[in-house]
Every structure is written in structure tokens, then in C-alpha cells.
Amino acid sequence: MGPVLYASAGSLMSYWVGGSLISRNADRYAREADLRFSLVRINEHLDGIALAGGEEDERRRVEMHLGNVLAATRRLVSGLTNLTWVTAGFGWVTTVAPILVAAPLISRARSPSAVS
């Protein structure tokens, strides 16, 4: 029963922590698409932008879209980092828990009072 509870707890925590990764990834893709669209639009209307003196406006728009991409990427990386901590932590529990359980038994068996 213990291994089933352990696996269930690990799965639930991974789902809870990693559940937002789907929406964060979709948001990053959407922000990247906005940036690509902005860059293609500038490329297609380069002559008109230059004639109208709109370089500064376009630069601000591209910087805004790039900032949105970077913010979305930071949110995604943060979520992935949290999920990594949970999964790595559960991996370490399988290594450390048996040692913690066995250590008192071993020390008790090696104590002088146990020998006599």
C-alpha cells in the first residue's frame, strides 16, 4: 500500500505543479506568433514605414512583442523549474527514506547493550 500512496502523491504533486505548463506554453507560442507577425508586417511595409518616418513606432512595437515573448518564456521556465524540483525531490526520497528508516535499526544492533 505504501508504494501506491507514494506514487499517487508524486503523481498528484506533479500534476498540481505542472498543470499550468500547458497554458504557459500556449501563451509563449502566441506571444512568439505576435512577434513574428510584427516582423513580417514590417518587412512587407518597409517602404511605407520609411517614407512616413514610422521607424520609431515600429521599433517600440517590436520591443513590446519581444518583451512579451521573454516574459512568457520566463513564466514557462519558472513552471518547469518548479516541476523539476518536485520530480527530483521525489527521486531523492526513494534514495534517502530507506537509509533514514534503517539507520536507527543498524545503530541499535551495533550498540553494546544489544550485544549482551
What is the dihedral angle through the alpha carbons of 90, 91, 93, 97, rounded to the nearest 10 degrees?
Answer: 150
Q: Which long-range contacts (CB under 8 A, 24 or more apart) does 65-72 make?
A: 65/31, 65/34, 65/35, 65/38, 66/35, 68/31, 68/34, 68/35, 69/28, 69/31, 69/32, 69/34, 69/35, 71/31, 72/24, 72/27, 72/28, 72/30, 72/31, 72/32
User: Residue 112: what pLDDT?
Assistant: 67
Question: What does the pLDDT look like over 95-111, one tens digit per residue?
Answer: 887 888 888 878 777 76
Question: What does the pLDDT look like over 9-42, one tens digit per residue?
Answer: 888 999 999 999 999 999 999 999 999 999 999 9
Q: How many CA atoms lie within 13 A of 4 on its CB side?
A: 1
Question: What does the pLDDT look like over 51-96, one tens digit per residue?
Answer: 899 999 999 999 999 999 999 999 999 999 999 999 898 888 888 8
